[in-house]
Amino acid sequence: MSGTENLLVEADQLAAELHGDDPPTLLDVRWRLTGPPGRDDYADGHLPGAVFVDLDTDLCGPPGAAGRHPLPDPAALQDALRSAGVRAGHPVVVYDGGDGMSAARAWWTLRWAGHRQVRLLHGGHPAWVAAGLPTSTEVPTPRPGDVEVRPGALPVLVAAEAARMAAADEGTLVDVRAAPRYRGETEPVDPVAGHVPGAVNLPAPEYVTEGRFPTVDVLRERFAAAGVGATGPVGVYCGSGVAAAQAVLALHLAGRPDTALYVGSWSNWVADPSRPVAVAPEPGAAPA
């Protein structure tokens, strides 16, 4: 995919880099919303040299009113990344079980923390296996890293900012959850169904398929159809800021690196019962 060499890496290219003189640091961030733990998958087999990093405990703060996957404490994140061998100025590649969501949240978190040299293995662990490349059950002991976490390198939204963006004619707030959740017909995870008033809906399968992104032109067309143009403020949210991080990556690919992530997402929005909740019959329709 043209123009994405600093964001995505294909399995064969990564394999070549791992055989080079200065291979990238590999982070395995496999995760599932409802389990079992990604560490079990890692134990069964992972890319040689990869270190497991836990999305819930290493890359996010404790769940609560700030959301199910809030921002991590910078000092705790720095400790976790150094333990995983992340070094200042040294490239990192993150991968997951194939859907690209937890890897995208890892990508976003490292970028937010000021580490720019981070890419996502396109297609994740399944792409590596499908390419006939080797896996390992050996758990490496990485040399401690020296990365310094400097939070704020990517834009974030808090609830009040998300509300203003959704209500403003010059901005677009995109909800990337499944359409029935957006419409308020069902909510399998959080206590309230619906969406932020004024937000438009673009479910994740519209811009990513099994962890793989379409061409840049297709990405631009699909986001433009949801109201995201080449200019103007844009923010994204999901249930807890994981799938939405993947949308941020997609928008980076589409030429919108200024996209803000509402990290707390819907799980934070509904934690305050005073915040309004909208429902709509169709994705992107005006709130009822």
Residues 108 and 169 in one domain: no
Write the DSSP string, 5-43.
TTTEE-HHHHHHHHTSSSPPEEEE----TT-S-HHHHHH
Closest CA to 242 of 269, 280, 204, 196: 204
Band (pLDDT 50/70/90 cuts) for residue 66 is very high
Residue 107 scores a pLDDT above 50 = yes
Report the C-alpha gap between 93 and 97 in whole angstroms: 14
pLDDT tens for each residue of 75-102: 999 999 999 999 999 999 999 999 999 9
Q: Which residues are bridge partners to 270 per DSSP? A: none
The total of structural domains in the chain comes to: 2
CATH number at residue 25: 3.40.250.10
Residue 268: which pLDDT band, with cuts at 50, 70 and 90? very high
| Claim to verify: residue 117 and residue 174 sit in the same structural domain | no
Of 79, 112, 130, which residue constitutes the final position of a domain?
Answer: 130
Question: Quick one: average pLDDT of 109-123?
Answer: 97
pLDDT of 283 higher than 50: no
Q: pLDDT confidence of 36, banded at 50, 70, 90?
A: confident
| pLDDT of res. 35 | 80
> Within this chain, do residues 106 and 167 fall inside the same structural domain, yes or no?
no
- Tell me, yes or no, whether 141 lies in a domain: no
Catalytic residue among 157, 238, 250, 263: 238
pLDDT at 1 > cutoff 70: no
Say what the pLDDT of residue 34 is: 83
- How large is the average pLDDT for residues 258-271? 98
At residue 5, does pLDDT exceed 70? no
pLDDT at 3 over 90: no
Judge if 109 and 171 occupy the same domain.
Answer: no
125 and 182 in a common domain: no
- Tell me, yes or no, if 60 is annotated catalytic: no
Q: What pLDDT score was predicted for residue 147?
A: 98
Residue 235 structure tokens: 């923010």
Q: What is the pLDDT of residues 179-208, one digit of tens each?
A: 999 999 999 999 999 999 999 999 999 999
The answer to whether residues 28 and 98 belong to one domain is yes
- The amino acid that residue 130 corresponds to is A
178 & 236 share domain: yes
pTM for the model stands at: 0.94
- Containing domain of residue 121, as a range? 8-130
Residues 197 and 265 in one domain: yes
16 in a structural domain? yes
* Amino acid found at 215: T
Provide CB contacts within 8 A for 160, sequence distance 6+. Answer: none
Residue-wise pLDDT for 203-244, tens only, equals 999 999 989 999 999 999 999 999 998 889 999 999 999 999
Band (pLDDT 50/70/90 cuts) for residue 281 is: low
The answer to the question of residue 288 being in a domain is no
* Mean pLDDT score, 22-49: 94
Last residue of a domain, one of 112, 130, 148: 130
User: How is the beta sheet containing 156-157 ordered, strand by strand?
Assistant: 156-157, 260-262, 234-237, 172-175, 200-201
Closest CA to 31 of 61, 3, 57: 57
pLDDT: which is higher, 135 or 36 = 135
